[in-house]
Chains A and B, each alone.
Chain A
Amino acid sequence: MTTTNRIERHHYDVVVIGAGGAGLRAAIEARLAGKKTAIISKSLFGKAHTVMAEGGAAAAMGNVNSRDNWQVHFRDTMRGGKFLNNFRMAELHAKESPQRIWELETYGALFDRTKDGKISQRNFGGHEYPRLAHVGDRTGLELIRTLQQKIVSLQQEDKAELGSYDARIKVFDETTITELLLDGEKVAGAFGYYRESGEFILFEAPAVVLATGGVGRSYKVTSNSWEYTGDGHALALRAGATLINMEFLQFHPTGMVWPPSVKGILVTESVRGDGGVLKNSDGKRFMFDYVPDVFRKQYAETEEEADRWYTDPDNNRRPPELLPRDEVARAINSEVKAGRGTPAGGVYLDIASRRSAEEIRRRLPSMYHQFKELADVDITKEPMEVGPTCHYVMGGVEVDPDSGAAFGSVRGLFAAGEVSGGMHGSNRLGGNSLSDLLVFGKRAGGHAASYTDQLTVRPKVAIGAVEAAVETALAPLQRDTGESPYQLQQDLQVVMGDLVGIIRREGELADALGRLAELRERVAKVSAVGGRRYNPGWHLALDLRNMLVVSECTAKAALERQESRGGHTREDFPAMDPMWRRVNLVCSLNGDAVRLAHKPLPKMRSELIGLFDRAELAKYLTDEELADFDALVSDADAEEAGN
Chain B
Amino acid sequence: MFNPTDIIDLLAANVRQTRNPFGVRPSRFNTWWRGLSGFTRRPGDALLFTGLMYQAIPYINATTRYLERLEGSSWAGCLRWGRLVPASLRGRGLSVLTSGADRKKFNGILQTICRLLRQSEVNFFYHPEMDFYSGILLYDLGDQDGFVRHARFVARTLQLHGVRKVITVDPHTTYALKELYPRYTGASFEVQPYFSLLQCRGSERGNGKPPVVLHDPCFYGRYLELSEGPRRVLRDLGLEYVEVRNCGEFTSCCGGPAESVSPALNREILGRRAAELKAAAAPVVTFCPICLANLLKAGLPVEDLASLVGRYLAPEEK
Q: Do A and B bind each other?
A: no
Interface residues of A (CB under 8 A from B): none
Could you tell me which B residues sit within 8 Å of A by CB distance?
none
